[in-house]
Amino acid sequence: VLYQLGEDKVQLGDVSSRLLHDGRVADLDFSPDDKTLATAGGDRLTHLIALGDDGVQFTGPRVDREKLADGVAFGVAYLDDDRVCSTRGSEYIDFWNPKTGKLIDSWYLDPIYGKLVRLETHRGRKLLAAGRFHWPPNYDEPGRVLIWNYDTGEKLHEIDLPQSVMSVSMPFSPDGRYLAVCGYTWLSVIDTTDGTYRQKQFSDWVKTAAFSPDGKTLACAEISGPTYFFDVETLEEVRDPIVTDVELPDCLQYIPGTRKLAVVGLENRLRIWDTETGQIVSESDKYPAFFATLRVSPDGKRIAVCQPDGKIRLFRSEDLKELLTFDATPGYFYFDFSPDGNSLLVSGMMQPRVYHSVARKKLEHLSVEELRDVTCQTMSNIDRKVAKE
């Protein structure tokens, strides 16, 4: 964001802004003649921006740099009460204790297979999936999905997916047999028992997918378009699409034990759809900023959403009453609930951190003042401010 300063006194005038980086802006500098601004982002890119009297004129060339040393966590997964994992840059998966912040183990990943890593876990079968994809898109190279048994560390599968240049959603089916991968205009469904896969192409980006609680239906949303419903075995449509306002990854998820689908998008609301009738059954109030990510707790009672201004909101799924609001670093987040649903693992444009209930109370009964960051004093390089409204 570029502000114009008043000449006669210190005041802010016109504002010009551009969304340049997939991640934080780590540094910036003006040229000596003030006609160019260079920005360095956590996404490895440096942008050169031409400036004029009215602010940003146009963005010029961009340079692909080496990854910043600390790395951004684009993937997180809660394995059990004493283990979580998160990506570090493009080369490592770190395993650490969410109660103490102590590092347990680190796995190295060959960066040749892509620069960004997304994580997903199936706790029942002890499966950890990592999707490595190219960003900015490199259409000549496939995306690679790796699947491990996270208890033994055994690598079970390495799958190269043609045309899947960017993984933005990777849910497991409830029984862990299938892993759905949204990449560019392709939906891939991987059989985790043998590593085989089937693909379906769409006319536009597909950024999010979700399995029904019985594992028989897969919902998949095109960007700013309809949400389709497919039979998992055949990838044939099983009902008419629902027109939603989904724009970003991880924006829809079934509520466990129901046929209801929680959806967020650009209309700045959280909505619950009945997938049998195709009707909205409840919706939240409208907020000033849109919701970027959604996660439903394992028991289906709570729904966590984030907004790009850093607000994280917790709703009761029964009536979409807002239970909590707290602040994190602005950006887009990746969530995972703990198995008991009382802790929330958050990462994105910051170091990963855990928000947890205290005094053995459930989250829905907590006030904002009772919420605390339990790992901020032991994790390095993160904001130490207690999360509060």
Amino acid 329: pLDDT: 62
In the structure, what pLDDT confidence band is assigned to residue 375 with cuts at 50, 70 and 90? very low
Amino acid 296: pLDDT: 93
Is residue 184 scored above 70 in pLDDT? yes
Q: Which residues pair with 237 in a beta bridge?
A: 230
| Domain coordinates in residue numbering, the chain | 2-64, 244-389
Is residue 99 scored above 60 in pLDDT? yes
In the structure, what pLDDT confidence band is assigned to residue 234 with cuts at 50, 70 and 90? very high
Q: Which distant-in-sequence residues (6+ apart) come within 8 Å of 102 by Cβ? A: 96, 378
CA 164 to chain centroid, in Å, comes to 17
Q: How many residues does the chain have?
A: 389
- CATH number for the domain running over 244-389: 2.130.10.10
Give the count of alpha carbons within 13 A of 87, CB side only. Answer: 26
Please give the single-letter amino acid code of residue 388: K
Inter-residue contact 389 to 325 (CB < 8 Å): yes
Tell the burial category of 123 from Cβ atoms under 10 Å away from its Cβ (0-12, 13-18, 19+): middle
| Separation of alpha carbons 143 and 167, rounded Å | 8
Is residue 388 scored above 60 in pLDDT? no
| Separation of alpha carbons 76 and 347, rounded Å | 7
Is residue 39 scored above 80 in pLDDT? no
| Separation of alpha carbons 15 and 20, rounded Å | 16
At 106-157, the pLDDT tens digits run: 888 776 555 667 788 999 999 999 887 666 666 666 778 899 999 999 999 9
Provide, rounded to the nearest whole percent, the portion of the chain with pLDDT above 70. 69
What value does the mean pLDDT take over residues 15-33? 71
